Amino acid sequence: MKIALPAFGLLALAACEGSLPTAPAKQKVDYRPEQAGTVDHALCLLGFTAIGLKEARSTGHHLVAATINGKEGVFVLDTGANLSVIDVDHAGHFGLDRDAGIRGGATGLGGSNIARQTSVESLRLGGVPVRQRRMVLTDLGAIGDALAPLAGGAVHGLIGQDVLKEHRAVIDVERPILYLIEADEDPAPVPAERCRKSGAEGKK
C-alpha cells in the first residue's frame, strides 16, 4: 500500500506478518442548511453532515478535529493520502501501543522508517461516527514539524481517502466545510426537519 503525503513526498507501507491535544481554533462557519437553494440545503436533504474546518496559516492546508478512542486531536485533511495516519509520537495520547499492529516499512522525504497498521476502537469527525477502524502509525517527521506552528499546536496525523471515500466526502474549500454522509449507502432524501437548524458540526 502507498500513502501520498501532501507536498512532502510519498510514504509507502509494505505490510508483512508479524502532550495534550490542541484543537483547531474556533472560527465562524457560514452554514445555512435551512436556506433553500444553497449547497448546504441540498446536501443536508441528502443526508450529509457539515463539519467546519480550519485553514492552516500560510499553507492553506485544511485541519479537522478528530476524536479517536475518545481523545481529540488535530488532523490534516489530505485528499492525496489513500490511508489515514496517526503520528507515532501521539499514539499514547489515543491509547494506542506504538509498537503494536502489523509492521511494515515506510519511505518518505526523510528516508526509511517503520510503519504499522493498527486498529482503533472509535473514530469521529465532528458529529459523524466513522466506520474506518484501521489507521497507520508512523513518524510524520518533517510534515508534523512543519505544520504544527501553522496549525497553532500539535498535528496528530492525516485523514486520508479511506475515510473520505467511505463517507462520500464533499469539500467546500472556500468556506471551508467538509460534508460527510453517515449512512452506509447512496445519498438519499431525509426528513426536511433535519435541515431547519443551523450550525456545522465540529466548528473548530
Positions of the chain with pLDDT lower than 70, given as ranges: 1-29, 101-114, 197-199, 201-204
Q: What is the pLDDT of residue 80?
A: 87
Backbone angles phi, psi at 41, to 5 degrees: -65, -45
What residues pair up with 50 in beta bridges, in sequence order?
Answer: 179
pTM of the model: 0.80
Give, in order, the Cα–Cα distances in Å from 69 to each of 65, 72, 171.
13, 8, 25
* 48-72 pLDDT tens trace: 999 999 998 778 899 999 999 999 9
Q: What is the DSSP secondary-structure string of 17-60?
A: ------PPPP------TTSTTSHHHHHHHTTEEEEE-EEPTTT-
Cβ atoms 12, 2 nearer than 8 A: yes
Residue 83: partners with Cβ closer than 8 Å, 6 or more residues away:
1, 3, 13, 135, 136, 160, 161, 162
For residue 61, the Cα-to-chain-centroid distance in whole angstroms is 12
Provide the grid cell at 75.
488532523
